[in-house]
């Protein structure tokens, strides 16, 4: 006698795969596509120290010929011969030791952007250390106190050296933090000014106009590549840590208005998740968000850069540009994991009785009609330092009456942006749009010394929009 149960099972197995394989898969049950991030892979430095809580590395600044434009060689300034430089990854409380050697034809230094470290490790020549001369060495040695997405770059002739390729990511993780879904992807957005032969343009190309407008590169790069490909599986989340490493360019980023769940930024996780459909990333700023691939299997799309109004003429006659291929592989979609809404507790700084300062971000001209920017009308070479005490809380009013936006960066300290409805988030870089006012609150912990602050359009900083704070006990 025929077994009805076996017959039914046999009939089901004979159905087309497209019919019986439609049961949704959990994102936790599947992996990213093979070699999904191959085009965007970052170099990892060799750890010289067996202690799991100490990362000790050798780091060289060296010129290396690379093919940025197809078939053309560019003498790129690099860390350890890669663009971007090697990814430094640690846990909160770990110690980082970097034996740095300068093999460039010019002096340089390393600024550890966003890290709350001792003043003598901040990498600002003539303020926290001497310049590292060609052939010279310097050892950076400090403990990383905070989780977050950071980066490192020179603070000597910064506009030129960052523009030539000297930048790299640094990520600090907190093992006790809530689990964020998605496989991690670190993306450094930048650009480079090349002529039609692939050679680096003069850093002062454009003269006074370049000083005023800021110099945007001729090619946009994602992890040092022109139009790399990122592979995805529909619904399989990715956690993107994005860094704007350009000297001037703003990056407005979106992908078909798909939701981006922002979980953090400059100074680690936000208080709670915020979902948007685009992100504006100003120079030196970082965001940490969960991206859920929306496209149907076996399709291709383009991740695009969109022009951003950052001042007079910045969007005139400009169109969006493709900067990365998005390939959704021919695999069944998966069900995304929920993103936690509450991430951590951040206490608002108590500003009652706080010392208040106003910083007017100003643009003028010197006696030779060269562009001369400053803070409160004073070029940084002529500016006296702000004086402050350890433990003091201050409120700074950043006033921008100019026709150009200025991303304001504070070395060595996080701040909170006041008057916003966004979730609380520690910042070290904030945009101050043209003809606007932004207020920030800072509290100075026990790390005395001379600390720099400046516009992170590096061309603006070079022509005077910098200042310094002398913190005393």
> Does 343 map to a domain?
no
**11-40: pLDDT as tens digits:** 444 444 443 445 567 777 799 999 999 999
- Is this structure's pTM higher than 0.95? no
Mean pLDDT score of the chain, rounded to an integer?
94
> Which CATH number do you get for residue 284?
2.60.40.420
**From 19-28, 38-47, 423-432, the region with the lowest mean pLDDT:** 19-28
Q: Are residues 395 and 289 in the same domain?
A: no
What integer pLDDT is reported at residue 28 of this predicted model? 75
Answer yes or no: is pLDDT of 473 > 50: yes
**Is residue 443 a contact partner of residue 425, using CB atoms and an 8 Å limit?**
no
Q: Are residues 325 and 410 in the same domain?
A: no
Considering its fold, how many domains does the chain have in total?
3
Q: Are residues 168 and 257 in the same domain?
A: no
Distances in Å between the Cα of 471 and the Cα atoms of 118, 142, 325, 446 are 12, 19, 47, 9
Q: Are residues 165 and 193 in the same domain?
A: no
Q: Are residues 110 and 162 in the same domain?
A: yes
> What mean pLDDT do residues 107-126 have?
97
Residue closest to 283 by CA, chosen among 413, 442, 459: 459
Residue closest to 60 by CA, chosen among 88, 100, 87: 100
**172-222: pLDDT as tens digits:** 999 999 999 999 999 999 999 999 999 999 999 999 999 999 999 999 999
What integer pLDDT is reported at residue 27 of this predicted model? 75
> Does 345 map to a domain?
no
Answer yes or no: is pLDDT of 10 > 80: no
Q: Are residues 303 and 219 in the same domain?
A: yes
What integer pLDDT is reported at residue 3 of this predicted model? 53
> Does 12 map to a domain?
no
> Does 136 map to a domain?
yes
Over pLDDT 90: what percentage of the chain? Answer: 92
**297-312: pLDDT as tens digits:** 999 999 999 999 999 8
Three-state secondary structure of 128-193: CECCECCCCEEEEEEECCCCEEEEEECCCCHHHHHHHCCCEEEEEECCCCCCCCCEEEEEEEEEEC
Q: Are residues 404 and 277 in the same domain?
A: no
What integer pLDDT is reported at residue 22 of this predicted model? 53
Which of the four pLDDT bands, split at 50, 70 and 90, describes residue 64? very high
> What mean pLDDT do residues 440-457 have?
97
Q: Are residues 208 and 318 in the same domain?
A: yes
Q: Which of 279, 303, 335 delimits the end of a domain?
A: 335
> What mean pLDDT do residues 231-254 have?
97
Distances in Å between the Cα of 98 and the Cα atoms of 87, 123, 153 are 13, 12, 13
Q: Are residues 328 and 301 in the same domain?
A: yes
Structural domain for 396, as ranges: 355-472
> Does 346 map to a domain?
no
What integer pLDDT is reported at residue 23 of this predicted model? 56
Q: Which of 173, 206, 223 delimits the end of a domain?
A: 173
Q: Are residues 401 and 265 in the same domain?
A: no
Answer yes or no: is pLDDT of 7 > 90: no
What integer pLDDT is reported at residue 391 of this predicted model? 97
| Helix intervals (H) in 78-120 | none
Q: Which of 304, 335, 366 delimits the end of a domain?
A: 335
């Amino acid at each position: 006698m025929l077994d009805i149960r076996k017959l039914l099972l046999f009939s089901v197995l004979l159905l087309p795969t497209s019919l019986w394989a439609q049961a949704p898969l959990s994102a936790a049950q599947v992996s990213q596509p093979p070699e999904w991030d191959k085009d965007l892979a970052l170099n990892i430095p060799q750890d010289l120290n067996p202690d799991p809580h100490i990362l000790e590395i050798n780091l060289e600044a060296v010129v290396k010929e690379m093919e940025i434009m197809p078939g053309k060689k560019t003498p790129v300034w690099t860390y350890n011969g890669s663009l971007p430089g090697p990814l430094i990854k640690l846990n909160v409380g770990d110690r980082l030791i970097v034996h740095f050697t300068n093999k460039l034809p010019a002096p340089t230094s390393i600024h550890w952007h966003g890290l709350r470290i001792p003043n003598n490790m901040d990498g600002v020549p003539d303020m926290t250390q001497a310049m590292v001369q060609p052939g010279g060495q310097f050892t950076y040695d400090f403990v990383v106190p905070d989780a977050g997405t950071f980066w490192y770059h020179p603070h000597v002739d910064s506009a030129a050296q960052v523009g030539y390729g000297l930048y790299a990511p640094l990520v600090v993780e907190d093992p006790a933090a809530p689990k964020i879904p998605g496989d991690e992807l670190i993306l450094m957005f930048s650009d480079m000014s090349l002529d039609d032969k692939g050679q680096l343009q003069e850093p002062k190309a454009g003269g006074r106009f370049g000083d005023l407008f800021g110099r945007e590169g001729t090619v946009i790069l994602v992890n040092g590549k022109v139009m790399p490909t990122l592979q995805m599986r529909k619904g399989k989340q990715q956690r993107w840590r994005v860094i704007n490493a350009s000297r001037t360019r703003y990056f407005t980023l979106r992908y078909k208005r798909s939701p981006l769940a922002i979980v953090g930024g400059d100074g680690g996780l936000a208080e709670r998740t915020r979902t948007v459909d685009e992100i504006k990333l100003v120079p030196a700023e970082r965001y940490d968000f969960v991206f859920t691939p929306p496209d149907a299997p076996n399709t291709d799309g383009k991740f695009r850069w969109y022009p951003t109004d950052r001042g007079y003429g910045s969007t005139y006659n400009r169109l969006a540009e493709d900067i990365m291929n998005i390939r959704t592989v021919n695999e069944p979609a998966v069900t995304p994991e929920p993103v936690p809404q509450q991430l951590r507790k951040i206490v608002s700084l108590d500003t009652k009785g706080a010392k208040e300062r106003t910083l007017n971000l100003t643009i003028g001209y010197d006696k030779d009609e060269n562009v001369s920017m400053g803070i409160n009308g004073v070029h940084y070479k002529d500016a006296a330092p702000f004086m402050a005490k350890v433990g003091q809380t201050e409120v700074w009013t950043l006033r921008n009456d100019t026709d150009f936006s200025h991303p304001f960066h504070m070395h060595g300290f996080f701040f909170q942006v006041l008057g916003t409805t966004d979730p609380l988030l520690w910042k070290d870089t904030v945009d101050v749009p043209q003809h606007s006012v932004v207020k920030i609150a800072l509290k100075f912990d026990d790390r005395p010394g001379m600390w720099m602050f400046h516009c992170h359009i590096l061309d603006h900083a070079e022509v005077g929009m910098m200042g310094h704070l002398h913190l005393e006990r």
